[in-house]
Amino acid sequence: GNSVTQMEGPVTLSEEAFLTINCTYTATGYPSLFWYVQYPGEGLQLLLKATKADDKGSNKGFEATYRKETTSFHLEKGSVQVSDSAVYFCALRENRDDKIIFGKGTRLHILP
């Protein structure tokens, strides 16, 4: 079945460091891919998405590129801030199946 695998956390970085959170997926078709973020005490929010191969989703300085050849959708940010501390979820949705399948989440701590 469809699944999402993302790097286990927690990930701890210093402010202004470069961030990569790896995400790979398994799907039978051509899914849409998402990154969701959950800030402390808040609900999940859509961070960015990509709907086809080679698309790049971006928001708030974060980027992720849909790589069909490696079935990956790694999240990157060039310079993280303390306010980026949160749990990040990689997710996919098959075109024929409306429910979104989430990874287990990666907790990110940014130290000042």
Partner 1 sequence: GAGVSQSPSNKVTEKGKDVELRCDPISGHTALYWYRQSLGQGLEFLIYFQGNSAPDKSGLPSDRFSAERTGGSVSTLTIQRTQQEDSAVYLCASSRDNNYGYTFGSGTRLTVV
Q: Cα-atom radius of gyration of the chain, to the nearest Å?
A: 13
Residues 6+ apart with CB under 8 A from 71: 24, 25, 26, 27
Q: How far is the CB of 14 from partner 1 (least distance, A)?
A: 26
Q: How far is the CB of 18 from partner 1 (least distance, A)?
A: 25
Task: Kindly tell me which of 18 and 39 has the beta carbon lying closer to partner 1.
Answer: 39
**Contact set with partner 1 (CB under 8 A):** 34, 42-46, 49, 89, 98-105
C-alpha to C-alpha distance for 5 and 21, rounded to whole angstroms: 11
Q: How far is the CB of 102 from partner 1 (least distance, A)?
A: 4
